[in-house]
Structure 1
Amino acid sequence: MAATVSSLFIYPIKSCRGISAPAAPLTPTGLRWDRQWLVVNSKGRAYTQRVEPKLALVVPELPNDAFSEDWVPSANSYLVLTAPGMSPLKVSLSQPGQITEGVSVWEWSGSALDEGEEAAKWFSDYLGKPSRLVRFNDDSQTRPVDAKYAPGHKVMFSDEYPFLLISQLPTINQETGIAGSEPTETLKTFRSDKALRPTGKQQGQTYFGQNLVLKESLAGVKGKIIKVGDPVNVLKMVSSPAEAAV
């Protein structure tokens, strides 16, 4: 029996809370809207939950239609952010015109679209230090995937690869025998095997497939959507970067 997609998560802002969606269009850089935005410090360096755990409490919301293949944002389409003690922030889904230089995340540095002073003040007030919200500028910037694994592929602000696949046996209530909500609830906030496997006893129940790309993306992606309930099949397994690059 083939595995199936049990849930889909999109993280519009890197290191902030995720959105659970019933379906998501596939793009060359990952699921649509995933890691398009980034919160940076006064030097343009990316924040992560490792150094700013409060980002895990920033909740993004996108219009329901945003996960439809042919949906185009209007002037009244927004990414809405909420966080404890903060008024909601509305970020237009129309691309901003201002560009900021010197943005960096891990090994990559370049320019990005700046979401303006209101968003900068919101994150600065929330984190208690000068911060800005930027958006990946795919019109002028490219962040390539490690060529040892997948030459020609690219990402936005995600960690190295467009897709992350996780499998885990569900949590079972020992008294009722009913499957619990994990790992779904955890994945809304964290994407860590440490969160899903807090003790060594659970080793082997969670599997991460981080080095995932969409092969067809090199020839252009159009009309491809992944949905909850879709089957998942392993077509090929490789044992080394050299074999993966073939």
Structure 2
Amino acid sequence: MSTVRALYVYPVKSCGAIALQRAQFDASGLQWDRHWMVADATGRFVSQREYAAMARIVPEFVEEGVRLSMDGMSETLLLPFAPRGGETRVQASVWKDTFEALDEGERAAQWFTQALGVPVRLLRFARDVTRLASKKWTHDEDAPTQFADGYPILVTSESSLAELNARLAAKGAPPVPMSRFRPNIVVDDVNDAFDEDFVDTLAIESASGAQDIVLRFVKPCARCPITTIDQQSGKRDANWPAEPLDTLAAFRADARVDGGLTFGQNAIVVTGAGERVAVGARAEWEYRFE
């Protein structure tokens, strides 16, 4: 038995997180997660990989929608929950996927262009568009997602982070916080570090108690250089610029993802769309036996 220790949504892909005490699931993951995306002139997503300062764009939920702020910006930007109407439909692309999205207009484009110092646009996921996670990994199951890299949910565990930080300490490197891995759900210890590698499903107690929310782990999450960026300052540590990737390389290369350095598991929603989950909820793992 495990416990949900933290819940996070990232309303704008690759920008800051909102930590929640309660969150609602829908078929495409946690509500409002990666619902907006910053894109270049061609509609291709941009991220902290190119512009580390995106980490400094801070979202918060307000009554009308999501308000964005950033140190050094004189104004905030409000993204209403409901589309304003009349948005231009454009082609958006996330890795190999291309689909239609809604352009949020000149005000949003100008705000993000000023924040990042490069010309960009802000796109909203269109509710009448379906983007599915790769069926190679979902075993042919339809799993909708929005602007996430590929899957609706990312789950990490405290025990795995503790093991990684112990290895960092052994080489004299400072520990890294869980924010470096940008999870949606953090669970506490079950048995051993990285036991999530062997999990099939995770059943989480819903706030209503009506039914459990069941997630299926479908693909190990191969990590990229975003893990080397401090999620508060938007900068890489000058003394340890390649951590935690250097340490992960010693024990987390995974042949299933072409040798990628993995931390956490991508998951899809099996049951529980419409249910809410709270920090402190019980969570039960079902291991995969092959």
- Gaps of at least 5 residues in structure 1 are 64-75, 173-180, 240-246
TM superposition shift of 1:99: 2.7
Q: Which residue of 2 aligns with 1:237?
A: 288
How many aligned positions are there? 211
Query: CA separation in 2, counterparts of 1:237 and 1:183?
Result: 28
| Structure 2 letter corresponding to 1:183 | P
Q: 2:72 corresponds to which residue?
A: 85
Residue 44 of structure 1 aligns to a residue in which SS? coil
Partner of residue 39, structure 1: 38
Preserved contact between residue 56 and residue 189 of structure 1 (Cα < 8 Å): no
Aligned mates of 1:142, 1:185 — CA distance in 2: 29
Deviations 1:73-123 (A, max 9, x none): xxx602111112112111222213213322111111121112111101001
What residue in structure 1 maps to residue 121 of structure 2?
Answer: 132
The structure with the greater share of residues assigned to strand is 2
Give the conservation status (yes or no) of the 8 Å contact 2:125–2:147: yes
Secondary structure class of the residue paired with 1:120: helix
* Residue 188 (structure 1) shift: 6.3
136, 148, 155: which is aligned to 1:148? 136
For residues 1-246 of structure 1, the aligned pairs below 5 Å read 2-63=1-62, 77-86=64-73, 87-97=75-85, 98-139=87-128, 141-150=129-138, 151-169=141-159, 170=162, 183-186=177-180, 194-195=227-228, 197=244, 200=247, 207-210=263-266, 212-216=267-271, 221-222=273-274, 224-237=275-288
Worse overlay, 191-200 or 155-164: 191-200
Cα offset, 1:31, TM superposition: 0.4
Match for 1:89: what amino acid? L
Distance 1:22 1:15 in 2: 21
**Cα distance in 1, alignment partners of residues 111 and 55 from structure 2:** 15
Measure, in 1, the Cα distance between the counterparts of 2:130 and 2:66: 23
Deviates more, 1:94-103 or 1:153-162: 94-103
Tell me if structure 2 keeps the 8 A contact 1:16–1:189: no
Of 30-39 and 95-104, deviating more is: 95-104
Cα offset for 1:6?
A: 0.7
**Which letter does structure 2 place at the counterpart of 1:126?**
A
Taking the aligned partners of 1:238 and 1:41, their CA distance within structure 2 comes to 44
Query: How many angstroms does 1:185 deviate by?
Result: 4.9
How large is the RMSD of aligned CA atoms in angstroms?
2.8
Aligned 8 A contact 1:11 1:19 in 2 = yes
- Offset, 1:7: 0.5
Where does the alignment leave 5 or more consecutive residues of structure 2 unmatched? 167-174, 185-220, 229-242, 253-261
Q: 1:94 to 1:119 in 2, by over 3 A?
A: same
Q: Tell me: CA distance 1:236–1:99, structure 2 relative to 1, closer, same or farther (3 Å).
A: farther
Secondary structure of 2:11's aligned partner: coil
TM-score (norm 1): 0.76
Contact 2:90/2:103, CA 8 A, preserved across alignment: no
1:203 offset after TM fit, Å?
5.2
Contact 2:99 2:131 in 1 (8 A): no
Letter in 1 for 2:152: P
Moved more, 22-31 or 188-197: 188-197
Deviation at 1:33, TM superposition (A): 0.6
Identity %: 30
User: What secondary structure is seen at the aligned counterpart in 2 of 1:233?
Assistant: strand
Tell me the CA shift for residue 207 of structure 1.
Answer: 4.8
Q: Check whether the contact 1:59–1:83 (CA below 8 A) recurs between aligned residues.
A: yes
**Could you tell me how far apart the structure 2 residues matched to 1:197 and 1:182 are?**
7
Q: Does the CA-based 8 Å contact 1:197-1:203 persist in structure 2?
A: no
